[in-house]
Amino acid sequence: MPRTWVWLQLVIGWLPMWALYTILIVTMHPDTSASTAIETGFHAILCAALLGLVVHRLTQRYRWPRPMRGVFIVAQLMAAALYSVTWYLTSALLEGSVRASHGHALRLTAGAPLVPFLITGVWMYAMVASISYATQATERASLAESLVAHTQIAALRSQINPHFLFNALHTVVQLIPHNPQQASHAAEQLAALLRTSIEETRDLLPLADEWTFVQRYLAFENMRFGDRLIVDAELSVEALDALVPSFALQTLVENAVRHGAAPRIEVTTVRIRAAVRNDVLTIAVTDDGVGADQSATARGTGLVRLRERLRVLCGDTSSLVTNSELHSGFVATLTLPARDGVAA
């Protein structure tokens, strides 16, 4: 969060306290003018706010214990008393200095009876400390949630790479008895693909980078399928700049090749479309292969894992919808907010 915004929040938070304290002065001292009450209240709340920064630092150093300990409660009571006394003295000194600058004799004055002033100081300490501890608890919860999400993503990524490796090795094995030389070339291509797969550590990356990897994958698969596999791709410039989860497009394309083209001897066309409309990126991968019945639209574990990654990375702002009927092809449509990868 920008430092300017933090300070603005602090100022806004203390403004109601200034107004309340001014009203208390007017109520307890009816003969005091409104301008004097406003000025005196400002001096008192200014001291309280500055001391509040010290309290905030104190709460950062002495964390809220779990379970609660008696020594912590005693320390907080002592700190509240010290805050209250310090606030009284600094407020009185500041108010006296201001009066002296206006030609009056220098004297300590807080503008309010001592006991109510000290009670108000304890209440202010409790307010600042409780807000600070609540903020820290929220930050810890957010950090824990973030760590869980990153752990889930890492686990899913560790599942994607072996899945891709198994399918790619299967392609090489199929080529060995028919064309050993091409199998050797495929093994080299596979090594390059795996190097890229392992070195890619980004959770989100521009679609252009993902498309480069997919093109290498399709060139690798073309060694096995030859003319039986046709790829028709249209990706807009805006779509190529948008961010997508790593291996998202590769998962959709691999799903189309493995489950659409591999089981048949006829020519299979895989169509890839990506466009941005109304700040929404839509990626659709269609094949005219064997399709799947409605009860099997997950079509393997790859799409299931991709859905899990989308849920962790994008929450409810993304979706992966599949549509297919047996012997009529398969369509997988991914939608997510269009975030500019160049700006990121």
Pair 133, 206 in one domain: no
What's the mean pLDDT in 288-315?
73
Confidence of residue 150 (pLDDT cuts 50, 70, 90): low
Q: Which domain holds residue 112?
A: 3-143
Alpha carbon distance 289, 259 (integer Å):
8
CA proximity to 294, closest of 316, 263, 325: 325
What's the mean pLDDT in 161-165?
62
What's the mean pLDDT in 161-176?
72
Query: Is there a domain that residue 157 lies in?
Result: no
With tokens 């008696």, the residue in question is: 70
CA proximity to 161, closest of 208, 195, 210, 207: 195
Query: Is there a domain that residue 101 lies in?
Result: yes
Query: Is there a domain that residue 251 lies in?
Result: yes
Q: Is a pLDDT exceeding 80 seen at residue 80?
A: yes
Pair 139, 11 in one domain: yes
Alpha carbon distance 230, 182 (integer Å):
19
Please check whether residue 332 is in contact with residue 284, taking contact to mean a CB–CB distance below 8 angstroms: yes
Q: What pLDDT does residue 190 have? A: 78
Q: Who's near 177: CB < 8 A, 6+ residues apart?
A: none
- What is the number of structural domains in the chain? 2
Q: Is a pLDDT exceeding 80 seen at residue 193?
A: no
Q: What pLDDT does residue 342 have? A: 45
**Top-confidence residue, 154 or 106:** 154
What's the mean pLDDT in 1-16?
65
Query: Is there a domain that residue 161 lies in?
Result: no
Query: Is there a domain that residue 115 lies in?
Result: yes
Backbone angles phi, psi at 233, to 5 degrees: -120, 135
Query: Is there a domain that residue 215 lies in?
Result: yes
Pair 109, 210 in one domain: no
CA proximity to 227, closest of 183, 268, 199, 185: 268
Could you say which DSSP state residue 130 is in?
H
What's the mean pLDDT in 297-310?
74
Pair 38, 139 in one domain: yes
Pair 123, 215 in one domain: no
**Top-confidence residue, 321 or 9:** 321
Tokens of 193: 């693909």
pLDDT more than 90, % of the chain: 21
Domain boundary among 101, 116, 143: 143
CA proximity to 175, closest of 226, 227, 218: 226
Q: Is a pLDDT exceeding 80 seen at residue 160?
A: no
Query: Is there a domain that residue 181 lies in?
Result: no
Pair 134, 211 in one domain: no
CATH, residue 209: 3.30.565.10
Pair 117, 8 in one domain: yes
Pair 139, 29 in one domain: yes
**Top-confidence residue, 208 or 137:** 208
Tokens of 191: 């090594």
Task: Write down the pTM of the prediction.
Answer: 0.54
Highest mean pLDDT among 115-129, 188-202, 296-310: 115-129
Alpha carbon distance 137, 75 (integer Å):
20
pLDDT in tens, 197-240: 777 778 889 999 999 989 988 988 888 788 899 999 999 999 99
Domain boundary among 96, 124, 143: 143
Query: Is there a domain that residue 187 lies in?
Result: no
Pair 10, 110 in one domain: yes
Confidence of residue 173 (pLDDT cuts 50, 70, 90): confident
Tokens of 97: 């200095």
Alpha carbon distance 225, 219 (integer Å):
10
Q: Is a pLDDT exceeding 70 seen at residue 5?
A: no
pLDDT in tens, 35-62: 888 888 888 888 888 898 888 888 888 8
For residue 148, what are the CA distances in angstroms to 127, 144, 205? 32, 6, 21
* Residue length of the chain: 344
Please check whether residue 244 is in contact with residue 210, taking contact to mean a CB–CB distance below 8 angstroms: yes
Q: What pLDDT does residue 343 have? A: 38
Backbone angles phi, psi at 285, to 5 degrees: -120, 120
